[in-house]
Amino acid sequence: MGLAVLAAAFAVAALLVILYIVRQRNPKLRAQRLERLCARAWAAMRAAKWEKGARLCMRAAKLATGAQLAVLHLQIGVCRRLQCRFDEALMCFAESGRIADQYGDKLGKANALGNAALVLQQRGAHDKALACYEECTRIFGELDNRLGQANVTTNIGLLRQAEGDLDEALGCFNQALDVFVENGDRVGQTSVLTNIGRMYLDRGEPERALEYLGKALPLAQAAGDRQAEVTVLGNIANVHKRMGRLAEALAGYEELLKIHREMGDPDGEARDRVGIGDTLVRKGDYESAADYLAQALKAFLRLEIADGPRKCLAGLRMCLTVMGAKDFSAVCESAKLEPRTVTEFLKVLELGQPLPTGR
């Protein structure tokens, strides 16, 4: 009886293997399966489920060829970038660009370069990022792809904003916005309006910032873009903090921290902790503030986010001033910052030395 059951099990397994091989070799069935996997992957990414999206794209990549394969490597890279797995993201973008080159896919090549530039920009390599953006602009110009050019222009605006050239940044954003509006691109409009709102906040005009963010939020929601929506909400919380609406700001950051945890976005989590920490500093709760800010600093150093550590500086300097070096150091060490990093960071805060690079 046992042998009969075992033989039947082997027969079923063999049949399943044969069906799988037939399915894999049948072009129509293969294409249908690829289409289903891609649809599920895009849905996961729209919902900001980056790990699920990456896994589905990897499964789809086993069935894809040519330009399709380049697109899937690109999307895996996007997921990894948003998870702050930057080295993996750069490898995916390089592979996507290589395959696109192989098949003469100029659009695929430009998209791979543009996404690689975003990683370089996050890591502070602005010259390398700008070179990629310039090459993207050239390719999109050859393709007469105005939306592609507008996306690149938006990212160049972000780069200029990070460098403190707000007038140049605003010019880039407005130029891109005109194209997105003309083409009915809600996601593009959301991105630009959010960036303009952030820029006005940097200029010390919070009411003007809220005006633009208020326009961006319904566009993000209508587009069903979860990442864009939480980005807008994070900036609204920043405005509330700047305007002294501390209860609203704190509630906003705490909700965003939960969302970013669910999304698996460590950079987002760290920025939320900065928001909470800075708000707590304004409320006079320095010990709790130092804890949140120290955790954010640890994450930024681990992730190698170029502009991250300095976002913690003002709040941590105030905590150190009020708490004193001994208590401040204890909080930093309880946040699992290495003692060497704490010592170096104290020098940064007290003496203005360069930021630490350890963990």
- How far apart CA 154 and CA 93 sit, in angstroms, is 20
Residue 277 lies in a domain: yes
Residue 123 lies in a domain: yes
Q: What is the mean pLDDT of the chain?
A: 88
Residue 158 lies in a domain: no
In terms of residue numbers, what domain contains 340? 263-359
pLDDT for 58 equals: 95
How confident is the model over 3-19, as a mean pLDDT?
Answer: 46
Which is higher by pLDDT, 275 or 7? 275
Residue 153 lies in a domain: no
pTM of the model: 0.72
Residue 124 lies in a domain: yes
Residue ending a domain, among 122, 144, 166, is 144
- How far apart CA 358 and CA 327 sit, in angstroms, is 21
- Exposed / middle / buried, residue 144 (Cβ in 10 Å: 0-12, 13-18, 19+): exposed
The tens digit of pLDDT for each residue in 225-262 reads 888 999 999 999 999 999 999 999 999 999 999 999 98
Q: Which long-range contacts (CB under 8 A, 24 or more apart) does 99-103 make?
A: 99/66, 99/67, 99/69, 99/70, 99/73, 100/67, 100/70, 103/66, 103/67, 103/70
92 Cβ partners below 8 Å, 6+ apart? 73, 74, 76, 77, 80
pLDDT for 26 equals: 65
Over 80: is that where the pLDDT of 6 sits? no
pLDDT for 349 equals: 75
165 Cβ partners below 8 Å, 6+ apart? none
Residue 170 lies in a domain: no
Residue ending a domain, among 121, 144, 167, is 144
Local structure of 93: helix, strand or coil = helix
Q: What CATH code is carried by the domain that includes residue 73?
A: 1.25.40.10
Residue 273 lies in a domain: yes
How confident is the model over 46-56, as a mean pLDDT?
Answer: 91
The tens digit of pLDDT for each residue in 125-158 reads 999 999 999 999 999 999 999 999 999 999 999 9
How confident is the model over 182-201, as a mean pLDDT?
Answer: 94
Residue 317 lies in a domain: yes
Residue ending a domain, among 79, 113, 144, is 144
Domains of the chain: total: 2
The tens digit of pLDDT for each residue in 197-222 reads 999 998 899 999 999 999 999 999 99
Over 60: is that where the pLDDT of 2 sits? no
